[in-house]
Amino acid sequence: MVNVRIALAQVDTCVGDLAGNTRTVLEWTRRAAQAGADVVAFPEMTVTGYPIEDLALRASFRRGAEAALQSIATGLAQEGLGELVVVVGSVGERTTREHDAAPARPTNQAVVIQHGRVQARYDKHHLPNYGVFDEFRIFASGTEPCVLDVHGRRIGLVICEDIWQDGGPVAAMADADLDLLLVINGSPFEDGKVHLRTELAARRAREVRAPVAYVNMVGGQDDLVFDGGSFVVDADGDLLARAPQLVEHLLLWDLPDATLEGATGDASAPAAAIPRTGPEIAPDLDPDEAIYKAVVAGLSGYLRKNGFGSVALGLSGGIDSALVAVIAADAIGGEHVVGVSMPSRYSSEHSKDDAADLAKRIGADYRIQPIKPMVDVFEAELGLEGVAAENLQARMRGVILMGLANAEGHLVLATGNKSELAVGYSTVYGDAVGGYAPLKDVDKSRVWALARWRNNAALDVGKLPPIPESSITKPPSAELRPGQVDQDSLPPYELLDRVLDAYVEHAEGRVELLARGFDPEIVDKVLTLVDRAEWKRRQYPLGPKVTGLAFGRDRRLPITTLWREP
């Protein structure tokens, strides 16, 4: 026997782009062939993109995906790549009631292609239906395991959630004498998840007594960011190879010849055959770096896949809009960022200066549009006061940004952060307008941390930090009335964020929050604000999930509820 070279193709697909995803599979299979691979594995639902949501329920979509699969098989054979074992994900079909006229139901499928045709199909067994996942809604479960024979080596094939749950196909293969367990994944980024994945794969490796190769997709898809980080662990669970996060990558690894005693788990011996570099282990990212890059990837994916070439946002001089502008500049280039300063009578000089300074540092298209003339005419006509008048100012800015976007074709970015979204500290149809909200799942404490990380990253390479220091250090203010600061109406953000983390992300009750030592008055205030802001959150734009629990489909609560924590 010989080594079997495995290529994990960590690619960025697009939902619904059957033709583009087909080209991606062909292109990366060519690269894998050039690197001498015997097997190339692509992520979950490669052909269709992931997650496809209710597109799975359209028969026309499933027919299209099947045709794309066939064209991949044919295309590979025509290019002389028929010898390669190519594993891709797609949507399949399965009749759930064998003796019945029940229509076929979609499945989440891994498809094995070789010699110009489909050689095997595996239907995902465990369907995640929690958090952001709705797979029980759209897919039928598979029932059979799948073991491939590649040059005499036995490769078990499963999909993502199959390794997150006990039982099922992995357990069924415990005594199947596997040489490798191959897992294809569409596992979205969240803070700290890299380690969970590795530990889990290690556990399954010990369960099947074989190495586990894990390939994950990369790129932004609506409110999800897939971070790649594909890897291989040996039968003892030790890390043998790892791809970098948040970029496309081809990770090569040689499944060692099992006849060499002790070769399994020894990375250096068999992998010597990989050209030049040997099996790589990409370094761990610092949490702030990972989150920052995930947000950039989420935004750049949204822009590219939806055909936007530029963004527009309001620049207030504050930290949120500054960070969003820098993220946008990193995603699409500062010259494609339109930053609009929209000062009111309450805007301070330092705010206007900071906005201009930021725009200059990132090379944005900077514009100034005072809102006074609009506010004046609305106030004269409507005579609004108090919060209504504050909201009016924010809505003038929303109208300006949307007008600009409609006229010039930009995507408008909402600059609110997760803390504000949690407590409803924003104006619906005002600062909440936009098609994408990069900081939707980034709380205020993390906003400051990301700003500092980004500035330091610039300093590390000898560049000018993009965010003016005063935007980071000054007290946050909405500047909607004279001398206003956020802390007039909210607890200090550091405290607020800890209460929110316990209440929102960990679903703790009031009793548990008080047991943590939080002040009851603050707890009651925060919980009431969070509960009452649900209707605003529903109309808020999409933004990338980067924590264990994001607002949106990850946390589904009724607007109409009288439940208040006792």
Tokens of 414: 């909402």
Q: Is 565 in the site for its own copies (CB under 8 A)?
A: yes
Report the Cα 323 to chain-centroid distance in Å: 18
Binding region for its own copies (CB under 8 A) out of 327-335, 440-448, 475-483, 550-558: 550-558
Indicate the residue among 260 and 377 with the shorter CB distance to its own copies: 377
Q: How far is the CB of 22 from its own copies (least distance, A)?
A: 12
Binding residue (CB under 8 A) for its own copies from 22, 37, 51, 418: 51
Residue 42: CB partners within 8 Å, gap ≥ 6? 9, 11, 25, 28, 86, 87, 88, 89, 184, 215
Q: How far is the CB of 308 from its own copies (least distance, A)?
A: 11
Q: Where are the alpha helices (DSSP H) in 409-443?
A: 418-423
Q: How far is the CB of 364 from its own copies (least distance, A)?
A: 19
Report the Cα 260 to chain-centroid distance in Å: 41
Q: How far is the CB of 342 from its own copies (least distance, A)?
A: 11
Binding region for its own copies (CB under 8 A) out of 251-259, 381-389, 454-462, 518-526: 381-389
Tokens of 189: 């980024």
Binding region for its own copies (CB under 8 A) out of 2-10, 192-200, 366-374, 460-468: 366-374
Distance CA 413, CA 427 (A): 14
Q: Is 101 in the site for its own copies (CB under 8 A)?
A: no
Q: Is 406 in the site for its own copies (CB under 8 A)?
A: yes
Q: Is 533 in the site for its own copies (CB under 8 A)?
A: no
Q: How far is CA 137 from CA 66, 97, 109, 352, 482, in A?
A: 21, 17, 15, 50, 51
Q: Is 368 in the site for its own copies (CB under 8 A)?
A: no
Q: How far is the CB of 71 from its own copies (least distance, A)?
A: 13
> Does residue 220 contact residue 14 with C-beta atoms inside 8 Å?
no
Q: How far is the CB of 385 from its own copies (least distance, A)?
A: 7
Q: Is 555 in the site for its own copies (CB under 8 A)?
A: yes
Indicate the residue among 31 and 63 with the shorter CB distance to its own copies: 63
Q: Which residue has the tokens 């390939």?
A: 215
Q: How far is the CB of 450 from its own copies (least distance, A)?
A: 24
Using CB under 8 A as the binding rule, the residues of this chain from 295 to 314 that contact its own copies are 301-302, 305-306
**Which residues are part of the catalytic machinery?**
44, 124, 160
Strands of 337-341's sheet, edge to edge? Answer: 365-368, 337-341, 311-314, 411-412
Indicate the residue among 403 and 492 with the shorter CB distance to its own copies: 403
Q: Is 428 in the site for its own copies (CB under 8 A)?
A: yes
Binding region for its own copies (CB under 8 A) out of 280-288, 344-352, 376-384, 438-446: 376-384
DSSP 247: S
Using CB under 8 A as the binding rule, the residues of this chain from 434 to 453 that contact its own copies are 435
Phi, then psi, of 356 in degrees rounded to 5: -65, -40
Using CB under 8 A as the binding rule, the residues of this chain from 510 to 529 that contact its own copies are 510-512
Q: Could you give the angle at the alpha carbon of 384 between the alpha carbons of 381 and 388, nearest 5°? A: 135
Binding residue (CB under 8 A) for its own copies from 23, 31, 58, 345: 58
Binding region for its own copies (CB under 8 A) out of 35-43, 232-240, 275-283, 425-433: 425-433
Q: Is 95 in the site for its own copies (CB under 8 A)?
A: no
Q: Is 103 in the site for its own copies (CB under 8 A)?
A: no
Amino acid found at 537: R
Q: Where are the alpha helices (DSSP H) in 333-434?
A: 349-362, 372-382, 386-408, 418-423
> Does residue 35 contact residue 5 with C-beta atoms inside 8 Å?
yes
Indicate the residue among 137 and 516 with the shorter CB distance to its own copies: 137
Binding residue (CB under 8 A) for its own copies from 385, 469, 488, 494: 385
Q: Is 57 in the site for its own copies (CB under 8 A)?
A: yes
> Does residue 311 contact residue 407 with C-beta atoms inside 8 Å?
no
Binding residue (CB under 8 A) for its own copies from 509, 515, 520, 528: 509
Give the distance between the most distant pair of CA atoms in the chain.
87
Report the Cα 231 to chain-centroid distance in Å: 18
Q: Is 55 in the site for its own copies (CB under 8 A)?
A: yes
Indicate the residue among 473 and 561 with the shorter CB distance to its own copies: 561
Using CB under 8 A as the binding rule, the residues of this chain from 127 to 156 that contact its own copies are 129-130, 134, 136-137
Indicate the residue among 268 and 561 with the shorter CB distance to its own copies: 561
Tokens of 419: 């803390």
Quick check: helix, strand or coil at residue 158? strand
Q: What is the dihedral of CA 45, 47, 49, 54, to 10 degrees?
A: -80
Find the length of the chain.
566
Q: How far is the CB of 369 from its own copies (least distance, A)?
A: 7
Q: Where are the alpha helices (DSSP H) in 417-501?
A: 418-423, 444-460, 469-473, 493-500
Q: How far is the CB of 32 from its own copies (least distance, A)?
A: 25
- Per-residue contact flags (x/-) with its own copies for residues 171 to 210, judged by CB under 8 A: ----------------------------------------
> CA nearest 210: which of 263, 274, 159, 166?
263
Distance CA 105, CA 140 (A): 6
